Structure 1
Amino acid sequence: MSGIPEDTISRGLPGETVQPAPRTRREARERYRGSERRQARGLPSTSTGARSLRQAAKPGASLGAGYLGLGAAVLTGIQTVAGIVFFLIRWTDFTDPWLPAAAWALYIVAAVGVGLSLLTYGERLTGLAFALICVVLACVVTLDFVGIWPEHDIAHTASASVAAGFALLPVATLRPAREVAAAIAVLGLAFIGMAVASTPITSDTLPGIVSTLALVTVPPSIAIFVVQRFRQLVQRELDRVLVQSNVQAPQFAVGMLASDELARLDLAAEKLLDAVANGSDPLPLSDASASVAASLATELRLHLIEGRRETWLYHAITESDNLGRSVSVADPQSLAGHLSPAQRDGLLQALWQMVGVAEGRGAQAGSPVVSVTLGPVGSDGHPVTDETMDVPIVFESRGVPRRRLGPTAWSALQRIGPYTDSVRDGVLHVVAHCVVDRHPSM
């Protein structure tokens, strides 16, 4: 098929730039998102890869944040009704009530339009749509401010402009926090400027002004905080679930990140086979197509043999967004593969507890706070036979005081095996002795 020797074929396909392997799932996910549009071009419409890309492109709120958005929308609706009632009650107190009424009309029309858009196109808000919403809210605030200017009392007359702050509550679940925070800051500055320019600042008016400013800025700020914490919580739990899958993994295996590279090979193979099937690349294959086929075969063979000396613990740590940046592992003899599922579960639970305490104390991001060393194999009073051996596991935790570790952490260490703990130079040392089978069945 081709005169090119197979062992001279590079790891990448002809004309491709070989990128270093991603170190975490987050990096792999970002790389995939950046290239998914390029990969979809020319893909057979009935292929598995094309169906996967179409499924991933479907609209919808991520990580369940849409439920928070629904609750925020309900709160916004309640405040809108209360604001309209407040405005109608004080209708006769306004010098010109029609401008605030126009502000409310614009606000309601915009709210209905955004709601219909989300119901039609899914719970996604593009940057252009968010900018348009901000422009509409700016018009609402301007109309309301102009209408209440003659009253010289922003605390008791502002209505539609206050609702503009609550309108940012559901937006906080659909846009990045920094964008919503910028909108809140601009709105707060507008209220401060309006209060200083239109309302006399006295001991009688100042509490009302401060309360109005808080009513405008505090609820959306709390919404940003809640959404961010919720996303962090869900991402952390998803990370724990994925890491926990390594408990039942074989002693040596290829990690989950290998699927990203295999997906690329799958796409290339599908396009090549589809070209042969529909006759666009007839047999016998040209030299270029034969070279591509040989490259794919070489890469697939390399994937079958590479990483076979990497244990489940290596993949559990390196493929975790949280553990990968906080835990370092030293296992030169690949002893982690001998641990039983119960011992693996205890080891991971102990690491999660230590990392959680370190993050709660504001540990520096990116610097390992827990180091785990397995081995060397010894006896230390534990029975060592032809079938079992004693594997010492040493934890060194920096920035994690012993008193901050709860019963869950110590119970997890107990599942590994008998342990001793000490504190030296501010570093918590825990040595657990794990008796394992020399020839594990996993």
Structure 2
Amino acid sequence: MTRTTEETLSRRVGSDSERDALGRARLDIGFNVAAFALIAFQLAVMLINLGSYTALPLSLAAWAGLLVTLVAAVIVRPRLPDELPNGMFYTAIAICAAVVALDVVGTWAPGDTGAQPTAAVAVGSALLLCVAARPPSDIVVASIGLGVVLAGEFALRGQHDLSALGPAFVTIALSVAPPLLGVQIVRSLRTLIQLELDLVQVQSTVSSPGYAVGMLASEELARLDLAAERLLDGVASGRTTLPLNEETASAASSIATELRLHLIQGRKETWLYHAVTESALLGPAVALTDSEGLAAALTRDQRDGLLTAVWLLISDPVRQGASQPRSLTLDLSRPSAPEHGDPNPGARISIVISTTGVPRNGVDPAAWQAIRKVGRYVETFAGSTLRIEITSVSDSSADLA
């Protein structure tokens, strides 16, 4: 079976809503605690420096608007779906923009005489509350906009004392860093969850028969089975008259043809083919060549070791934050020359794994442990290309001859 001649099937593990829901509750709690702590800190800073405000009523109005918005969010949020509705989010953004404007005007003073904005900085912490409930782009755009406004304020005020530049940079960082860090945390968690779910799906093929239909084909077979059951039930109950009309006969013929095709495919596609093609991670990145279906002869431990090793080699860049996995070729064949004195040369399978962009010391140690379960191996490095040649022995491989 040549990987390049087969249709690539990409399957996401679970829906987006299911993946997003995982870990959301704990993230919300953590972000809420951090956000309210940062907001309380900014409120304390404002109370300590009341005497330096040039227009204190405006800053107090800004804080009042922000606190009312936060209280409303705490009350309403548990009653909302996982993702914050657009209308409510943009309304909150508009209120926050008004808060920033009031606080900037309330603290405005030429040079270094004015107070540092606090309600405007607290808006950044308030955005942290929305990180788990909105797309990352919304939070990033709002955070950058807030940072630009504060930077513009300090630039227009003019910082005559160089020692005042430090507090200005800290103020901007306190407003922008929390939501951006929150976005990165959520993104990393979702990537981790997706990888783990993908691994669970891939490993489910280890215990399946050597030749079998995959998960996607199983769903299609269930659909065909239901269609056939309805057709037969109609005939048995008399709702469908005999002989069948042209339309019903054509539908029955189509169902029979699809069932035969699935039965034929089930004898040609191995568990490894389905593990690769139905994985959202492995499917686009792995080129599989197994024209004789030798993967079906591997034992369960050998399957688990091979699949785990391939998955670790592919997913390592993604787990480290890269957007794309490595590409990898996986070739299974019979050894061209049997070893001298081998009593059962047909029991040997040659497995070659080749991937690029791997540092010499950059392979996960667990990958080598997994490869040892498959058989004896020899690894070679040529530039950035890693080539692993595995000789596997399986008692059942002789049956495939």
Scaled by the length of structure 2, the TM-score of the pair is: 0.84
The answer to whether residue 387 in structure 2 is matched with residue 429 in structure 1 is: yes
User: Residue 16 of structure 1 corresponds to which residue in structure 2?
Assistant: none
Q: 2:365 aligns with which of 397, 407, 418?
A: 407
* Aligned match of 2:314: 355
Equivalent in the alignment of 1:110:
69
The CA deviation at 1:136 is 1.6
Does residue 316 of structure 1 match 2:302? no
Cα gap change, 1:173 to 1:364, in 2 (>3 Å):
closer
Residue 141 (1) aligns with residue 100 (2)? yes
Aligned residue for 1:437, secondary structure, equals coil
What residue number does 2:3 align with? none
- Give the distance between the partners of 1:371 and 1:161, measured in 2 at CA: 53
Aligned to 2:129: 170
Task: Give the counterpart letter for 1:306 in structure 2.
Answer: Q
| Alpha-carbon separation, structure 2, partners of 1:301 and 1:123 | 43
Q: Indicate which of 21, 25, 40 corresponds to 2:11.
A: 25
Gaps of 5+ in 2: 1-5
Aligned residue in 2 for 1:42: none
Q: Is contact 1:349-1:412 (8 Å) kept?
A: yes
Written as runs of structure 1 = structure 2, the 5 A alignment for 1:283-294 is 284=241, 292=251
SS in 1 for 2:347: strand
| Whole-Å separation in 1 of the counterparts to 2:77 and 2:249 | 48
The question of whether the paired residues in 1 share the 8 Å contact of 2:330 and 2:351 is answered with yes
Residue by residue over 1:258-315, the C-alpha shift from the partner in whole angstroms, topping out at 9 and shown as x without a partner, is: 3554576688789x78x98xx9x96549865675566456545544443431111111
Instruction: Give CA deviations for 1:4-38 in whole Å, capped at 9, x if unaligned.
Output: xxxxxxxxxxxxxxxx9772113x978xx8xxxxx
Is 2:197 the partner of 1:243?
Answer: no
Q: CA deviation at 1:209?
A: 0.7
Amino acid at match of 1:395: I
Question: 1:243: Cα distance to partner?
Answer: 0.8
Distance 2:166 2:134 in 1: 32
Query: Secondary structure of 2:209's match?
Result: coil
Moved more, 93-102 or 234-243: 93-102
Give the C-alpha shift of residue 411 in structure 1. Answer: 1.7
Per the TM alignment, residue 86 of structure 1 is displaced from its structure 2 partner at its CA by 2.5
Provide the residue aligned with 1:87 in structure 2.
46
My pick for the range that moved more, 144-153 or 64-73, is 144-153
Q: 168-177 vs 242-251, which deviates more? A: 168-177
CA distance 1:154–1:114, shift in 2 (3 Å): farther
Question: Does the residue aligned with 2:378 lie in a helix, a strand or coil?
Answer: strand
**Where does the alignment leave 5 or more consecutive residues of structure 1 unmatched?**
1-19, 34-55
Q: Please list, as runs of the form range in 1=range in 2, the aligned pairs for 1:65-104 lying within 5 A after superposition.
A: 65-104=24-63
Shift of 1:194: 1.2
Give the distance between the partners of 2:255 and 2:192, measured in 1 at CA.
40
Question: Percent of counterpart pairs with the same letter?
Answer: 35
Against the structure 1 CA distance between its residues 297 and 113, is the aligned structure 2 distance closer, same or farther, given a 3 Å change threshold?
Answer: farther
Asked if the contact 1:155–1:208 (Cα under 8 Å) also holds between the matched residues in 2, the reply is no
C-alpha change, 1:60 and 1:424, in structure 2 (3 Å) is closer
Equivalent pairs counted in the alignment come to 389
RMSD: 3.6
- 2:353 is paired with a residue whose SS is strand
In structure 1, what residue type is equivalent to 2:69?
A: A
- Pair 1:292–1:212, CA change in 2 (3 A): same
Paired with 1:173 and 1:440, the residues of 2 have a C-alpha distance of 54
Q: Is the 8 A contact 2:55 2:105 kept in 1?
A: no
> How much does 1:418 deviate?
1.4
> What residue in structure 1 maps to residue 22 of structure 2?
63
The one-letter code sitting in structure 2 at the alignment partner of 1:224 is V
Aligned to 2:23, the other structure's residue is in SS state helix
Residue pairs, 1:252-291, within 5 angstroms: 252-259=211-218, 261=220, 284=241
Partner residue in 2 for 1:193:
152
Moved more, 95-104 or 178-187: 95-104
Corresponding position of 2:165: 206
Of 328-337 and 350-359, more deviation after overlay is shown by 350-359
The AA in structure 2 aligned to 1:434 is: S
Question: Does the 8 Å CA contact 1:153/1:199 hold for their aligned counterparts?
Answer: yes
What are the superposed Cα offsets for residues 31-51 of structure 1, whole Å, 9 maximum, x if unpaired?
xx8xxxxxxxxxxxxxxxxxx
2:358 aligned with 1:372: no
TM-score of the superposed pair, with normalisation by structure 1: 0.76
Instruction: Report Cα offsets for 1:389-418 as digits up to 9, x if no partner.
Output: 111111222222443224322222211111
TM superposition outliers: structure 1 runs of 4+ over 6 Å: 266-270, 360-364
Change (3 A) 1:102 1:282: farther
Q: Is the 8 A contact 1:335 1:391 kept in 2?
A: yes
Shift of 1:333: 0.3
